Amino acid sequence: MRGVNHGVRIAAIWVVASIIVDLLIGIIPIPSPVGSSEALGEHQTLYMLFYVGAPIFVFVWVLLVYNLIVFRSRPDVSADDVPDRPPSNPILLIWAGLSFIIVLFLAGWGTFTLHEITAAPSAPVTVAHAQRHGQSTKTVSTSKPASIMDVQVIGQQWQWTFRYPSNGGMETNYLELPVETPVRFNVTSLDVVHSFWIYDYDVKEDAVPGVSNEAYFLARMTGSTTPDGHNIVVCNELCGLWHGNMHADLKVVSQSAFTKWARAQEAFERKVGFLKALPPYATVYWAQPVWPPAPQDQSP
């Protein structure tokens, strides 16, 4: 009976504490940028993980603190007076079953969300309601999606380069994009593994030598790099000595401003001969071999 009473007390404390923690999660803002349409799914998933994980976290701590207080060693109680422990198999089975269900739920949710944030933006759907002959009718129309703009992201120690194939293959050392326009990043590397990350718009993809990884992006707001380090492109994979300084400026501007900038930039690079000197556009680039080769360890 004592065990049942302890179980009821632990359960009551756990329920109350879990409700309080989940309420705090809803009140206290969690750093999670939603600058792009893809970030909305990640933001929702992040909060879902907090709501699901909080009761588990609280239960572990409630059980630990309760046991430390209630079952602590007392000088007036000998080992012979301690009752035998009840069988723990039912508790273990319940714990394993709940863990299995939670893992399956998270796996399903993660699979759905991953598809949502990695798939190409779909055409927006418009639903119109009208009255006809005294009855309500609903018309569903799908607008034509804007064409996807390709931008190649090239990482190398320790800088980013951005290439625009639709603008003659011009290259820049900072990223400029139009707002409310679907963008497909083709991310690759020239040397080691990097990670292309725009935190404020919640876009992230690995840059792997010899591989072109795709990431989609649709900016919901304009913005540019700020003095305190917001709206920048950074590397999120330890890639060498100057990894911490591998960043680039970012500008998200109106569509008209982007078109004007892209045309002027392409014309300038063509005029000075920079476009002619660049290699033809390709999904991946292979770094030139070093000659003479670096000394090799000849020890047995």
pLDDT-derived band at 139, boundaries 50, 70, 90: very low
Task: Look at residue 287 in the predicted model and tell me its pLDDT.
Answer: 65
pLDDT-derived band at 32, boundaries 50, 70, 90: low
Judge whether residue 137 has pLDDT over 60. Answer: no
pLDDT-derived band at 80, boundaries 50, 70, 90: low
Mean pLDDT score of the chain, rounded to an integer? 76
Task: Look at residue 127 in the predicted model and tell me its pLDDT.
Answer: 39
Task: Look at residue 258 in the predicted model and tell me its pLDDT.
Answer: 92
Task: Look at residue 129 in the predicted model and tell me its pLDDT.
Answer: 41
Task: Look at residue 164 in the predicted model and tell me its pLDDT.
Answer: 93
Report the alpha-carbon distance of residue 294 to residue 277 in Å, rounded. Answer: 28
Task: Look at residue 187 in the predicted model and tell me its pLDDT.
Answer: 92
Judge whether residue 126 has pLDDT over 50. Answer: no
pLDDT digits (tens, 9 = 90+) for 175-206: 999 988 888 899 999 888 999 988 877 788 88
pLDDT digits (tens, 9 = 90+) for 83-98: 666 667 777 888 788 8
